[in-house]
Amino acid sequence: MAKGLDEIDIKILKHLQEDGRSQRNKLADIVHLSVPSVSERMRKLEDKELIQEYRAILDSKKFKFDITAFVFVEVDGSDNYSKFVDKACSEPEILECHSITGDGSHILKIRTENTASFEKLLSRLQSWNGVSKSRSNVVLSSFKETTTLPIEKTFDPK
């Protein structure tokens, strides 16, 4: 739990996760504070980097990104590690890049237009220095995707 938060901060954060476009006056009504008080709390949450950014989440299918895949990648040696991460982060179709334990050294979340574009991306990825192996899992259906954290579970008012 982040230090210095109270129940009101948790309510603000919880609501912003559900609706990042919430007007400050609506938040003020929810937490029973004035708009300037809510604004000040939000500024402090931003200063503490508890709120990293505000953004719209787009429907990938409506933008013709029909393929979602998770790719497990094995990168040989620490010399290639940071170069791999830099390349992965510069690819617009790679939405997430995580260092992992288990099968491989990294897992990538990819969204691309079709199987042909996915194949081209995999070919590029497999040609990067240090990439010794990759294994792909293509998503057939998604039932839950969220960025919302259950922060109320971590709150202890004591």
Per residue in 77-128, pLDDT (tens digit) is 888 999 999 999 999 999 999 999 998 899 999 999 999 999 999 999 999 9
pTM to 2 decimals? 0.86
Using a pLDDT cut of 70, give the percent of the chain over it: 96
Q: Is 82 helix (H, G, I), strand (E, B) or coil?
A: helix
Identify the residue with better confidence: 157 or 14: 14
**Range(s) within the chain of domains with CATH label 3.30.70.920:** 60-138
Is 7-56 CATH 3.40.50.300? no
For domain 60-138, give the fold: Alpha-Beta Plaits (3.30.70)
Delimit the CATH 1.10.10.10 region(s) of the chain.
7-56
Q: Is 74 exposed, middle or buried (0-12, 13-18, 19+ CB in 10 A)?
A: middle
Which positions ≥6 away from 151 have C-beta within 8 Å? 10, 13, 14, 17
